[in-house]
Amino acid sequence: MAAPALIELSGICRTYGKGEAEVRALDGVDLTIRKGEFVAIMGPSGSGKSTAMNIIGCLDRPTAGTYRFNGADVSHLSRDQRALLRRHYLGFVFQGFNLLARTTALENVELPLIYKGLPRAERARLAAEALAKVGLQGREHHDPSELSGGQQQRVAIARALAGGPMVILADEPTGNLDTTRSREIMGLLAGLNRDDGMTIVMVTHEEDMAAYAHRLVTFIDGRIESDRETAPEATQ
């Protein structure tokens, strides 16, 4: 029996500008991602992949079409409502890590938990557990300058995990890493998907990184050109 749909894009369009300056970033996109999937999204610059990720992450809203998250229509939510959805259900991992420089790993991971209003002791416990899950037990009190690029990205993944999201959205998570560190991060993400059932949606321009996913969705000119299953076990 197929897992229930978590993300459903139906006829999604996103245009910017008007008249001759109008740009159609997405042009009738239909995409369903089920709970527990690991989906990689690829495409050249301007293909619409980043716009699609921004809509999935409730950082942008479609011009037309319907976006349903876990069965709820979120296409027309207010800015505050989209912020609440991000806070409670989505975890973000970015290419640039986005860590606070003079703040420990533990404190960086605690940040989204502060916005959720959790007590200090619970924040510290959840942050420590998330750091342990990504292999950084014992590094809780190191600041980013004392960590390698791969370790900094592990902190960022721990921060995404700490709030207990339903899905992790990773935007070029290995873009600033060398090959060895990139493979470590992809192995970590694949393990979270395989062992914990975490749903992961990842934008990448690297085919060898996309090969860790179960599905590869390719965008061209604002539309999905292909959507196919892959064989991630071959890369593990």
Which residue range(s) make up the domain with 81?
5-235
pLDDT score of 19: 82
In CATH, what number is assigned to the domain containing residue 41? 3.40.50.300
Give every CB contact of residue 199 below 8 A, 6+ residues apart in sequence: 6, 33, 34, 35, 36, 37, 38, 166, 167, 168, 193
For each successive 10 residues of the chain (236 residues), what is the average pLDDT? 90 91 93 97 94 94 95 88 92 90 94 89 95 94 94 94 94 92 94 95 94 96 95 54
- Whole-number CA gyration radius for the chain: 18
pLDDT score of 232: 62
pLDDT score of 234: 44
Number of domains, the chain: 1
- pTM score, two decimals? 0.92
The DSSP line for 138-206 is: T-TT--GGGS-HHHHHHHHHHHHHHT--SEEEEESTTTTS-HHHHHHHHHHHHHHHHHH--EEEEE-S-
